[in-house]
A and B are shown apart, each in its own frame.
Chain A
Amino acid sequence: MGALQSLPGRPEYSDLAEKTGFSFEQIGVLHKRFKQLSHNEETLRRDHFNEIHDLAFNPIRAQIIEAFFDRRNFHQDGEGKVQEIGFEEFVVVMSHFRPPSDHMTEEQREKTRREKLRFLFNMHDTDNDGTITLEEYRHVVEELLSRSGTLEKETAKCIADAAMLEVASISVGHMEPDEFYEGITFEHFLKLLDGFEIESRMTIRFLNMDTTTLCK
């Protein structure tokens, strides 16, 4: 772990640390990884992500990669996509997956929860219109199920439709005959995943990094 002591640019890390909640060590490790991924360039592009071998088999690879380039996830109230990201944005996106720190107030927990769910929502809502329409949801389900390979598109669509039905019933309850269910808004999404323990589901332990990976 000696390598971590001699990280360059320590002072820069302090505002990053404050912004994202990571510790210096974690940021250091992430910086190393960033350099590794970007071949020591300043910015990461999509093709850098595509080089990650393990990611190749992941069914939602595309969405995750897009999520890194999505301005909405940079916490700067921006919209749209960028072509390349710097280290700061990289860390900000990663911070969505940070484990909750031990001493969090109820408010902070709620905030983190919302952030995480917002990240998820943005991932599904590809056209940035604030709602997840049926098409988008179908796309999600298809991507998820495409890994099993043998599931037909129709089945995936079927499942997505049923899921939409469910969302409609949970969020809107009884619908009038001529009501149109536009799509899942963020509020509905929150309600939908109310029972989910996001804090534990959407977390990764950043410190347990395998040094051998870093050396690859």
Chain B
Amino acid sequence: TNTYHLSFHVQAEMLDFLLFGALISAVDPVAVLAVFEEVHVNETLFIIVFGESLVNDAVTVVLYKVYISFVEVGAENVQTADYFKGVASFLIVSIGGTMVGLIFAVILGFITRFTKKVRIIEPLLVFLMVYLAYLTAELFSLSAILSMTFCGIGANKYVEANISQKSRTTVKYTMKTLASIAETIIFIFLGISAVDKSKWAWDTGLVSCTLVFIFIFRAVGVVGQTWVLNRFRLVPLEKIDQVVMSYGGLRGAVAFALVVLLDGEQVKAKDYFVATTIVVVFFTVMFQGLTIKPLVKWLKVPRATNRKPTINEEIHERAFDHILTAVEDIAGLQGYHHWRDKWEQFDKNYLSKLLLRKSVYRKSELWEAYQKINIRDAISVIDQGGNVLTSARLSLPSMASRASFPEVTNVTNYLRENGSGVCLDLQVIDNIPGAKVEEDMETHHVLAGNLYKPRRRYQSHYSRHFMPLGEQERQDREVFQRNMRSRMETFKSTRYKRHKKERSLKKVRRIKLQVTSPPTSSCDSLSLCSDPVVVPVETEDKAEHSDPEKDEDVGITFIARKAETPKQRPKSGCQIPLLPPPPPAPPSPPPASSSPTSEDSHLPWKGSLGSPPPCVSLEATKIIPVDLQQAWNQSISSLESISSPPAPAEPVHPRVSALSRLGGPRPASYTPPGSAAGSTFSIGPQVSQGSFLFPDKKKEEEEEEEDVEGEWLRRCSRSCLP
């Protein structure tokens, strides 16, 4: 083979140049990442360039090794067969590396499935397994970089779902730090080498030609490949995309590292190559890196939308996937969606079952997305900090914020639209407390509604194996529930006649406040405390109550959740059944319930009726239309959190306590209809009285508790059956 002489200095052969070409053409993922993150181009472009650089790393290394082995053997000794072997080895090395990575991904996913009790070692596990993937690939002389990359890619979905939020954060930031350190060190080394003359030799021709050529040939390569790709793409890659892709090919640390590793004996032109590489890296990173941002702006490249998808968009995303798959199946195509669907089926039925923790497996993505959106909204509500009053009224950031605090919100109407079973808090209507009480109530109401449960200050364990549920997570959940509650309120839809509105408005103000009772230690009252929910909901109804005959819209509202005693735990899934209204009564059985508490007697409106705070039992919850139960339950659980319970009498099932936050059972406050206690669901007379029904005496209730539970169980199971 010929030797090429460039400026009489560089002595290099074809093979050497091939080697050099392999290492200099690789796009560096780090540089690309840094620049593109800065620039925020649209996702497609980012993925293309970043993906290329990621795989490039491996390709470069593999090619490099292949060529090095050729060089070692000597160009003369390379036979044709060896070229084929080279290609074959390239394929084996890359695919082999990928497989190793995927195997470790599966192992990692599987292990993290069981780390619930040992959360603290999760990040360590992640690092170690990935490193193990690297080492294993190295052991078999496969592509270690590809192995690590694909281990990460494959395991991402499962590990992310399995490990705790803290572990996720830890892994993320540790990796970033490590990567940062490594990159910095390499660039330091680069800088030092640049200055240390003994390490390189300058050749103008080589350097300048290289600079020009890498740019030109990259562009050629991009254009050519895009042309091929566009035949298969639905959304073709535009010229602008291609420009960005070519321009965004920054060389970086990998090229430098590889060139320095060359053996000076075998590759005589090493020093020249080193010099060239240094210049190339400097040039691309600095010049191209700095100018790409203005270029992107100038070319008006479509930028990334940072807008998080709305719920509707998420729903439709999924809808589209299914629709397209269906149409493909109908048309008999085995298109992209078909295969993707098949993969998802496989994943869902086998992989996820194997690798995901059971509790995670059950949640659907949409629900997760929905929760995330809510939490995010809630947090942003909090961040808006300042005005406590208005923040309570904000639901979706996109929603116009409601005017004033006491404005009536109409979940009532919304609920009404959905039919039946509503309950009224009739008692409240007739009792109008004095102004002072009102004021206190209002203050309390505002405070309770908008502040969070005070944090406990103690710091807990330092156990290596135990990590308690963080305050943050609790708070997040609380925020979420609150937000959900306010969100429900702000959904306005009503068929309610206007003329009732004025009346109800007036009553609203008063009533709303009335309803709140101070957080008494007895559970029950909590239902009414702090409920922007309850109150407004009831308002509309109030006015109606005066006309019991007109039950076109019987109001609703309900809140309450009965103490979930352990016995009822198995039924907790069943809390939702809709109780059919008892035959004699018009379709809105009032809530029965609450146990009387002495504390409530001081509240004037309660005094006359002698007892129970208008707390509603679980039964009441059942009266809410089934469809809103979930939302409702969330709302009320947040309500419950407001009032602090007494020391729990017995430990409550964690799930239950998570819902109700209060822990501790409460006396059953439900009386089945027609029971001897005399509280019935009959609305008629009571309605007109404006009182609501609840068992007369606490004692009687408790006597009946057993019976109640049984009765409740029966009802529950009956209604639970589809």
A binds B: yes
B481 is an interface residue with CB less than 8 A from chain A: no
Query: Is A200 a contact of B235 with CB atoms below 8 Å?
Result: yes
The stretch of B172-180, B310-318, B673-681, B684-692 that contacts the partner chain: B310-318
- Apart from A59-B322, A165-B491, list 13 A-B contacts with CB within 8 A: A58-B326, A144-B322, A145-B366, A150-B363, A159-B370, A165-B487, A166-B311, A166-B396, A180-B494, A193-B313, A193-B316, A201-B324, A209-B332
A195 to chain B, nearest CB (A): 7
Q: Which parts of B339-353 form the interface with A (CB within 8 Å)?
A: 341, 345, 348
Nearest CB in chain B to that of A96: its residue: B327
Q: For the complex, what is the distance from the CA of A209 to the CA of B396, rounded to whole Å?
A: 45
Contact with B along A145-178 (1 / 0, CB 8 A): 1001011111101110111111111100111111
B564 to chain A, nearest CB (A): 17
Query: Is A162 a contact of B327 with CB atoms below 8 Å?
Result: no
Cβ contacts A to B, 14 pairs, < 8 Å: A33-B331, A57-B345, A150-B362, A150-B364, A153-B627, A166-B398, A168-B491, A169-B396, A177-B407, A177-B410, A177-B494, A195-B307, A204-B333, A210-B333
Q: For the complex, what is the distance from the CA of A94 to the CA of B462, rounded to whole Å?
A: 63
Nearest CB in chain B to that of A146: its residue: B364
Query: Is A163 a contact of B311 with CB atoms below 8 Å?
Result: yes
Query: Is B312 a contact of A159 with CB atoms below 8 Å?
Result: no
Nearest CB in chain B to that of A100: its residue: B234
B408 is an interface residue with CB less than 8 A from chain A: yes
B400: chain A residues at CB < 8 Å are 169, 173-174
Q: For the complex, what is the distance from the CA of A8 to the CA of B345, rounded to whole Å?
A: 39
* Centre residue among A30, A177, A199 by max chain B CB count within 10 A: A177
**A200 and B629 in contact, given A33-B332, A144-B322 (Cβ under 8 angstroms):** no
B346 to chain A, nearest CB (A): 12
A16 is an interface residue with CB less than 8 A from chain B: no
Q: For the complex, what is the distance from the CA of A157 to the CA of B495, rounded to whole Å?
A: 21
Q: Which parts of A111-148 form the interface with B (CB within 8 Å)?
A: 120, 123, 134, 138, 140-141, 144-145, 148
A145: chain B residues at CB < 8 Å are 364, 366-367
**A55 and B367 in contact, given A180-B493, A201-B320 (Cβ under 8 angstroms):** no
Q: For the complex, what is the distance from the CA of A203 to the CA of B324, rounded to whole Å?
A: 7
* Centre residue among A94, A168, A169 by max chain B CB count within 10 A: A169
* Centre residue among B324, B363, B367, B374 by max chain A CB count within 10 A: B367
Q: For the complex, what is the distance from the CA of A168 to the CA of B345, rounded to whole Å?
A: 34
Nearest CB in chain B to that of A60: its residue: B322
A-B contact count (CB 8 A): 198
**A204 and B328 in contact, given A64-B323, A157-B627, A174-B400 (Cβ under 8 angstroms):** yes
**A204 and B364 in contact, given A154-B576, A161-B631, A195-B305 (Cβ under 8 angstroms):** no
Nearest CB in chain B to that of A173: its residue: B400
Q: A interface, by DSSP: helix, strand, loop or mixed?
A: helix
Query: Is A206 a contact of B329 with CB atoms below 8 Å?
Result: no
Q: For the complex, what is the distance from the CA of A99 to the CA of B234, rounded to whole Å?
A: 7
B330 is an interface residue with CB less than 8 A from chain A: yes
Query: Is B338 a contact of A54 with CB atoms below 8 Å?
Result: yes
B626 is an interface residue with CB less than 8 A from chain A: yes
B595 is an interface residue with CB less than 8 A from chain A: no
B336: chain A residues at CB < 8 Å are 205
A190 is an interface residue with CB less than 8 A from chain B: no
A190 to chain B, nearest CB (A): 12
Nearest CB in chain B to that of A201: its residue: B320
B501: chain A residues at CB < 8 Å are 177-178
Out of A158, A169, A177, A193, name the residue touching B409 (CB < 8 Å). A177
Query: Is B364 a contact of A162 with CB atoms below 8 Å?
Result: no
Q: For the complex, what is the distance from the CA of A173 to the CA of B325, rounded to whole Å?
A: 35
B413 is an interface residue with CB less than 8 A from chain A: yes
Query: Is A206 a contact of B311 with CB atoms below 8 Å?
Result: no
Which residues of B are in contact with A by a Cβ distance under 8 Å? 234-235, 305, 307, 310-313, 315-316, 318-320, 322-338, 341, 345, 348, 361-367, 370, 374, 395-396, 398-400, 402, 407-410, 413, 417-418, 487-488, 490-496, 498, 501, 576, 626-631
Q: For the complex, what is the distance from the CA of A213 to the CA of B332, rounded to whole Å?
A: 6
Sort chain A's interface into a size bin. Answer: 35 or more
A169: chain B residues at CB < 8 Å are 396, 398-400
A204 to chain B, nearest CB (A): 6
A76 is an interface residue with CB less than 8 A from chain B: no
Query: Is B324 a contact of A204 with CB atoms below 8 Å?
Result: yes
A1 is an interface residue with CB less than 8 A from chain B: no
A111 to chain B, nearest CB (A): 19
Q: Which parts of A178-216 form the interface with B (CB within 8 Å)?
A: 178-181, 192-193, 195-197, 199-206, 208-210, 213-214
A52 to chain B, nearest CB (A): 6
Q: For the complex, what is the distance from the CA of A61 to the CA of B400, rounded to whole Å?
A: 37
**A144 and B318 in contact, given A177-B409, A205-B234 (Cβ under 8 angstroms):** yes
Q: For the complex, what is the distance from the CA of A110 to the CA of B629, rounded to whole Å?
A: 42
Nearest CB in chain A to that of B319: its residue: A144
Out of B329, B332, B333, B491, name the residue touching A58 (CB < 8 Å). B329
Q: For the complex, what is the distance from the CA of A161 to the CA of B361, rounded to whole Å?
A: 24
Q: For the complex, what is the distance from the CA of A60 to the CA of B337, rounded to whole Å?
A: 15
A74 is an interface residue with CB less than 8 A from chain B: no
Q: For the complex, what is the distance from the CA of A36 to the CA of B631, rounded to whole Å?
A: 48
A24 is an interface residue with CB less than 8 A from chain B: no
B315: chain A residues at CB < 8 Å are 140-141, 144, 159, 163
Q: For the complex, what is the distance from the CA of A54 to the CA of B234, rounded to whole Å?
A: 24
Nearest CB in chain A to that of B305: its residue: A195
Out of A60, A152, A153, A161, name the residue touching B319 (CB < 8 Å). A60
A65 to chain B, nearest CB (A): 8
A135 to chain B, nearest CB (A): 9
**A208 and B333 in contact, given A177-B492, A178-B498, A179-B492 (Cβ under 8 angstroms):** yes
Query: Is B327 a contact of A204 with CB atoms below 8 Å?
Result: yes
* Centre residue among B319, B328, B628, B629 by max chain A CB count within 10 A: B319
Query: Is B323 a contact of A60 with CB atoms below 8 Å?
Result: yes
Query: Is A64 a contact of B492 with CB atoms below 8 Å?
Result: no
B192 to chain A, nearest CB (A): 49
A49 is an interface residue with CB less than 8 A from chain B: yes
B367: chain A residues at CB < 8 Å are 145, 151, 155, 159
Query: Is A140 a contact of B576 with CB atoms below 8 Å?
Result: no
Q: For the complex, what is the distance from the CA of A124 to the CA of B491, rounded to whole Å?
A: 22
Q: For the complex, what is the distance from the CA of A167 to the CA of B305, rounded to whole Å?
A: 20
Query: Is A204 a contact of B337 with CB atoms below 8 Å?
Result: yes
A69 is an interface residue with CB less than 8 A from chain B: no
Query: Is A157 a contact of B319 with CB atoms below 8 Å?
Result: no
Query: Is A52 a contact of B329 with CB atoms below 8 Å?
Result: yes
A23 to chain B, nearest CB (A): 15
